[in-house]
Structure formats: structure tokens, C-alpha cells
Structure 1
């Protein structure tokens, strides 16, 4: 599939591969012919023509090698990027489903190792075609000149390749074991980094260091096992074809002494049999790359086979325009109001379509809403969401419905920006670890506000700030989100005081439609 995606590039690599290897394969035959027809025959005048042919072959090889080098690198990039796009694209498509089905370290290992293994396998395509082509040409020519030696070379080299075959299965198995260990250590590293502050607080760094060292040693041992097999493979790719060269040379010398072949034929056969090491080495390299790519592709395929928890409905129902209500059982969030509910992550996920439920949005069953429209109009912000590494201004500008400045003001995060050395141009570290928990929480809130969704669901949005800051945030968000549906799941009394509704209907989901009135327990309006 990767090769057929760019047929022009694939064809160029194949032609360049043949062009780069054929001159080397044909060169001994040309030299042998030159010896017999010019030097041995006493016709030195013909030698210039043979020299010109050798120079022509050298020029063809030089040009083809340059093109092959470019095509191989381009195919590596194409293969790795294609695999990376498939992984990243499907991971984004899976969304919240992915961390429930696959460990973080496994996904990281795909992006840092597997995609490159796939690229390596694609990169060898041109050289493999060149090796096969040159082998076929040399075999035909050798059989034509001397059937005995030609047959030995024609049969011996494939047998040499087959002799390498038994090493490929343990290599594949050990590469897979190494990949498992690598995923394990990557996952542990990610967990340790994520909880580093907690580990320092409880003095758990040494304990986790010991655990990480043990797992890291397993990765090393698996790598040593792979290296041991690869060393035998490298020895076999020299020894087996070398044995064929020795046999061909010995037989050729005997035939030359008996006068069955000429000195030029002997030199041609020796050079051609020595060249046959190159196709075998290339075949071994391709087999090694294919072995690693097979392991990598299997893991990528496992990711690509994962399906989202919630499929696109067969017949999506459109949501009504304007503010939207949310309702599930006795829980009601009227349209266009600020509703406060007790903290409940599972409820927040059900109301926003991140977990299966019978919730209604704007009177429409959430299962029947087009997923793209649902994600565009309904946003969930959890208390442990992350910031990405990069410039603060770029990270916060998730949308343009509300300016970053207004969102920062509403989240009372102006002091966070002012405290950064370069303001909006300051670079955040991974997951925003360069700022405190309270600062990160306010930046996350500001990022969500720039999108200005029709429904904004916040889980404990001010749990890490002091009461004075929280009071300002509550007041400003209530003003900024006036007339829009905002649901806050929190135990904070400040949010409850500012709420238009407290979200629990006395007699079931009376406010399930977008125009539903506030219930008797909604509380005082602002």
C-alpha cells in the first residue's frame, strides 16, 4: 500500500536500483571479454573500445547511484511519514477511546520506533530490485558462457540465501521481544515523568529508579539478543556467498587448465561470483528490514483496527440552533444558563458524549448526534487536562470566537502571562509543567473559552486557586458566557451562589428541550 501510493517514486527507485547494480555485475564480464579479444588475441587497438565501455558503465553507475540514493531516502521519508500519519490520524479519531484500549507507552513507541522500521523496509526496495535484476542478468550470462559454472552460481547463491533463512525466524522473535520491552520501559518512563512531583513529595524516587533500572536492563538484554542474531546473520551473508565464490574459482581454474574456458572467462567468472555477494547482502538487509517492519506493522495494524466507542450514527439528527440544554434522568442543565452540579466525572462524560448514556442535548438523544457537530458545539474540560509544549499564545489560541486577551481576562490569568519571561511568546514545557497547578488550570480554562462552544462543561475548574481568584473567575465567566449553556461540576460554594440552576429536576428531566424553563430547584437567577 505504501509502495503503490507513489508509483512514480517506486518505479524510479526500481530503475535506479537496477542501473546502480547492473554495471558492477557486468563489469567483470566486460573485462574478461577485453582480455580474450584484445590482450590475449594480440589486438591492442581494440582495447580502447573496451576501456570506453568500462567508462560508460562507470558513468551509468554513478548517475544511477545518485538517483537511487535520492529515491531511497525519499521512499524512507514517504514510508515513515505515511505510517506516522496513519497512527496519529487514527489516534486522533479514537480520541478518548485510545487510552482505554492501549497503553501510552505503546503509542509512543509506535511514533518513535515502529514508523521508522516501516520506513527502513520501504527504503530497501530500490536496492532489492537492483540486486534481483543484476543476479538474473549475471546468471543468464554465466550459464550461456559455461553451463557448469553458470549452474553452480545460479543454484549456489539462492542456496546461500536460503541458508540465511533459519536465522530470520529467531531474529523476528527477538525483535518482537525487544519491542515489547521497549514499550514497557517507555510506558514506565511516561508514568514516572507524569508523577515526578508526587514521587518527590513522598520520597519515592529511589524506589521507582530501581524499578526503571530493572526494566531498562531487560531492554538491554533483549537488544543484546537481537545483536547476537544479527552478528550471525552478518557472518552468514559473507561466508555463504564466499563459499560459492571459492567453488566457482576452483572449478574455473580446473576448466582453464583443461582448456575448456579461456583466461578471460575465468576472470569474468571470478569477478561475477565475487559480485554475487552484493545481491546476497542486499537480500539479507531487506529480510532484516522486513522482519523489523513486520513487527512494527503488526502493532500499527492493531491500533488501526481499534474502533471508537461511539460510531457515527447511521442517520444523524441535527441539533437545534442557539443555546442547548442537557438532560440525563433527574439531571437537567437548562439552555443558556449557568448550571452547577456536584463533582462527578462520569456524569460529565455522559452529558458530553464521551461515555455511553441516554442523555439528551437540545432534546436530541446524544447517541443520534453527528459526532463532528457534537465535538464542535459541546466541550468538556476536565480537571487534569493537559497543555501542550510550545508558545503560550499559540497554545491558547484554540479558537477565534473569543480573543485570547478576553479569555485570559475571564480566567483571571493575566498575572500568569505577566510572570512569564517573554509573555505570550514564552515556551511552555511538555504538559505545561513549567507553570504551577493553579496557573495551568487557569490557562486551560482560557484555552477552552477561546472556542466559545454552545455548551461548556467544566469539572472542578478552580480547585487549584485561592478563594479570591476563584471569585473573580466565577464572576467573569458568568458574564462572558451570558446566554450560553455552561455546566460546572464542583463542590465550590462560590459557583453555587452564581448559578442560574442547580441542575436537579424534582420530577425527572423536565427541561430536556432547549427551551425548557428553570425548575423549582434552580435557585435564584443572577
Structure 2
């Protein structure tokens, strides 16, 4: 199970549900579901760091052997031991890199997958629950911060083990110096602690500003053509400039605190080294320790700066990871508007009828129904008819005779498709964009393109179906994008297709062709079109007109008037 869990061919659903109760709970969950890379990195980290700590002690012993004039055997023995420690360190270092990268890749992969699963789970409701910039920043900067924390674990554990080994070895040689190490090193590490909280707060502030700036940049890019049309480029550019300056100031504030943290990581262990060398020199002058032991103490004390600097790096990295994990937990705790009922009811097979007792809308199974509704209420009505709990009583909207809130969301997603102006084109080839990995035939795709009058759009692109689309289809006109989106919806061939003003961006001649072809292609399947177009009304099997009229209690509700 462990090997398959992170295989690239396994669907994201194979990853267990993440623990989103808090940042530390999430990081511990990541470590617990696949601990072996971290365990291996910790073992190799110790094997890499301990030889580095022992080499000064071995060299000091070799110096003492040379001073005793007892022959060359002792010198050769200690020299070979130093060489062996060097070889062990080199091999362990090579393995540590691979294990650390493996632990980092695990954290990156799993966090990306749980985020993607949550985004898919929230669907269209995500836009109203979180800023797009926060989602983008979590998928990039936050995930990277968590990966960095997993990468540093092995080296940190190795540094702790090595520091303990050095302290024990020095204590056996000189209890006074050993006690100085046992007190000085933890004191140096603890001295860094007061800087972590301010760093974390400033990182959080910078992360918040980055999310705002990313959201604004996305909005500007998405609406660039409109901004140019109304002359609003300069105003939005100035707004983004102010936001980017806030991001810069927040980054500078976090950078200053990080610089203080790095300085403390050099200064505090330096003080410990100076103190130990001074004390060792006094003991050597008094004859308490030998010259070789003094060299060993100096080398060991100089080595101790490495564990302290590693601990400083780990503290900083974990601080950033905590902020990142907290942001990711905020996204994971968002609940979709549609939840699976305790006892879902299966939909009947084939075409599905749609009925809303509150609005009076009825759409017979296998027929084309056109609903005329004011443009400002079209999205609200589409939400009501396709999303459980979006409005009305719990059983007001029925699909195939089944209350919408009693349908399993997964079955609903496969049987009912809503397509409207909020739909976008993603980056990729035209074929990938239109088929979304479906195994339906090329003939089915050709029929969908013909019905949406989009065959000429594809033929006009270099490479046809293999042409590359930029995100959002920016290189296409509004009408071309709308026709490709419609072709994608038609190719999916759902049992009930709801279209929101699907021909708003095309001319009348193109609209007439699309209306006629869609009616032919969708014959026998239920299609509901929300529009005020007379061409769609003329082709409909059934038309429902909705006019705003006051409902009891002073609120407005649409009233259905079939014709």
C-alpha cells in the first residue's frame, strides 16, 4: 500500500483525508503516512554529521601519539581512523541528499494532491469562499515551504545526535569542558527562540499581501481587454503598484527579522566556541589536558557552530512551514455547499426531467426547454436548478422525480452539466481541452464541434485539434471561446444539459445555425437553455417565461408562466 500510495498512476483520491485541525497536525499527518524517507534521512544525517564531529577528537589523539615518541603505529592507526570517518561521511552525505529530496518530494506531491482534491471538491463554490490569489500562493509558495521543512529534518536530527556525541566525548576527557559544552550549546539554541515568533508574524503578513497581489494580478490579466476598452489600464496599474509596494515592505520586514535570526545563528555559537577555546587553553597551560586534547577541544568547539546553524535553519524553515500549513488547513477546512446525503436516491436511467415547484419551471425529459429570465438573475436561477441547497425548500427542485438534495453529488456531476459564461478554457491542446480525457469517439467530437459551429475555429488554429491553447484561450475572440466551451459541453453528452445564454457572443447568423444544430444533436436528451433569444424560443419544445413579482414577506421570486 505504501508503494502504491504515491505512485504517479494512482488517482488523487487514493491519498487519505488530510488532518486539517491545525498546522502541526497537518505536518505530523504528512510525516506519519510515509515515515520512511524521514527515518532514512535522520539515520543518514547522523552518519554524516557524527564523523565530522569525531574527526577533531581523532586528530587530537594522533597529535598526542606523535608527541609521546612511541613509534609510527599509533599515528598510522589514528590517521586511518580519520580517513575511514571521512569516507563514511562522504557516503552518508550522498545518501542523505537522496533521502532528503525523497522526503521533500513526498511532502510536495501529497500536499499538491490534497489541494487539488479539495479544489475539485469545492468546484464552482471555491470562488466565493477563497481568493484566487490565496489558492495560487498555497499551490506554489506554501507547498514549497512545507517541502523545505521536510528536507531539513535529516540534517537537523544528525546535528542533534552529533552535538550529543561531542558533549559526551568532551565530558569524558574533561568534565569542566564537557559541562561548558552541555550548557553553552543549548543556551545558544535557546537564544534564537525569541526571534522566531516575530519572524512567523511577519511571514504571515507577507503571505497575506502576496495573496492579495496575486488575486489582483489575475483579475487584471483576465479583464485586460475590457480595461483597454474603457481606458482603465492606468487606474488598475496604479492600484497594483500600491499593492506590490505593500508586498515589498512586508518582505523587507520579514527579511530584516530573518537577517537577525541568521546573525544570531553565527554570533551565539561563536561565543560558545570562544569560551570553550579560552577555557581549554587555560586547562592546557595548567597541564590538566594535553596539547592534542586542546586541538581536539578547539576542533570540536568549532564544529559545534554547524549544529547550531543547522538548528537555526531548521527553526526558520519550520516557522515558515507552520505558516504555510496553516494556510493550507484553512483551504482544506472549507466545506462544499453540496454534501452527500446520508441515504442518497439513485436517479432514473435515461433522459431526466426537471421541475421546480417554487418557480413553476418544468422541463420534460428528452425535450428542449427555454427559460427566459432577466440577465441579472440568470446565474442565481442556474444555481438553484443545479445545486442542492442553493434556494427554495429542501424538495422544491426535482430531477427525474428525485429531490435534488437527495441525489449523490458524484452521480449528479455525471448526469447533469451546467455550462455558462463563468466557464473557462484551460491551457493545453484543443483536443485535451474539449475531451477532458473522455474515451468517446472522434466522430462524437466532430458532431459536437459542428453543432457548436466551432469546426472553423479549430481549423483556423495551427495544428487543428493539436494546437496549443493558452490559459483562458486569450488568443481567441469572445465568440470563438464561447463556441469552444459549448462544444465541450455538447461532447460530454450529459443526460441533462443546462446552458446559460450560450450564444450571447455570436452574431445572429451563427446563432441560428447553432440553435438548429444543438436541437438536432440533443434530440432525445433533456436540454434547458436560459436565454431571452427569440431564436432559441422558436426552436424550443417548451418555453417558460419568468417575470419578477413580489413574493409573500416582501421578497422577490421568479414566477413561471409556461407558453
When normalised by structure 1's length, the TM-score is 0.94
String of CA shifts for 1:73-113, please: whole Å, max 9, x gaps: 12112112221111111111111221111111111110121
Q: Does 1:84 align with 2:112?
A: yes
Q: Tell me what 1:509 maps to.
A: none
Matches within 5 A, 1:40-189: 40-189=68-217
Matches of residues 195-210 of structure 1 in structure 2 within 5 Å?
Answer: 195-210=223-238
Task: Determine if the alignment matches structure 1 residue 418 to structure 2 residue 452.
Answer: no
Alignment match, 2:448 = 407
Larger mean Cα displacement after TM superposition, 395-404 or 165-174: 395-404
Alignment match of 2:407 (pick from 365, 369, 374): 369
C-alpha deviation, 1:356, in angstroms: 4.1
Contact persistence 1:14–1:130 (CA under 8 A): yes
- Alpha-carbon distance in structure 2 between the residues aligned to 1:58 and 1:50: 12
Kindly report which structure 2 residues correspond to 1:4-43, keeping only aligned pairs within 5 A, or say none: 4-43=32-71
Distance in structure 2 (CA, Å) of the matches to 1:361 and 1:193: 38
Alignment partners' CA distance in 2, 1:100 and 1:205: 25
Checking the alignment, whether the CA contact within 8 Å between 2:424 and 2:485 is kept in structure 1 is yes
Q: In structure 2, what is the Cα distance between the partners aligned to 1:107 and 1:406? A: 36
Q: Secondary structure at the match of 2:188?
A: helix
Q: Match for 1:190 among 204, 210, 218?
A: 218
Distance between the aligned counterparts of 2:144 and 2:109, measured in 1?
9
2:418 is paired with a residue whose SS is strand
The residue that corresponds to 2:420 in the other structure is 382
The structural deviation recorded for 1:5 is 2.1
2: CA distance between counterparts of 1:29 and 1:169?
Answer: 37
Report the more deviating stretch, 495-504 or 165-174.
495-504
- TM superposition shift of 1:350: 1.4
Q: CA deviation at 1:370?
A: 0.6
Q: How many residues in Structure 1 have an aligned counterpart in Structure 2? A: 509
1:456-502 deviation digits (Å, cap 9, x = unpaired): 00000001111111111111111111111000000111110110011
CA contact (8 A) 1:500 1:522 kept: no
- For the residue of structure 1 that corresponds to 2:543, the secondary structure is coil
Q: State yes or no: 1:345 paired with 2:379.
A: yes
Measured after TM superposition, the shift of residue 152 of structure 1 is 0.5
Please provide the CA RMSD for this pair: 1.5
Does the CA-based 8 Å contact 1:400-1:451 persist in structure 2?
A: no
Residue ranges of structure 1 left out of the alignment (5+ in a row): 506-519
Alignment of 1:306-325 (within 5 A): 306-325=334-353
C-alpha distance in 1, partners of 2:561/2:38? 69
Counterpart CA distance in 2 for 1:345 and 1:181 is 31
Helix, strand or coil for the counterpart of 1:324?
A: coil
Give the superposition deviation at 1:401. 4.4
Q: 1:156 & 1:457 partners in 2: Cα distance? A: 71
Alignment partner of 1:253 out of 261, 276, 281? 281
- Preserved CA contact (<8 Å) 1:501 1:521: no
Match of 1:440 in 2: 481
Aligned in 2, Cα 1:216/1:353: closer, same or farther, shift over 3 Å? same
Q: Which stretch shifts more, 84-93 or 275-284?
A: 84-93
- Structure 2: gaps spanning 5 or more residues: 1-28, 547-559
Cα shift at 1:116: 0.4
In 1: Cα distance, 2:262 partner to 2:68 partner = 39
Matched with 1:515 is none
1:220-369 to 2 correspondence within 5 Å? Answer: 220-329=248-357, 330-343=360-373, 344-353=378-387, 355-357=390-392, 358-369=396-407
Provide the TM-score with structure 2 as the length reference. Answer: 0.88
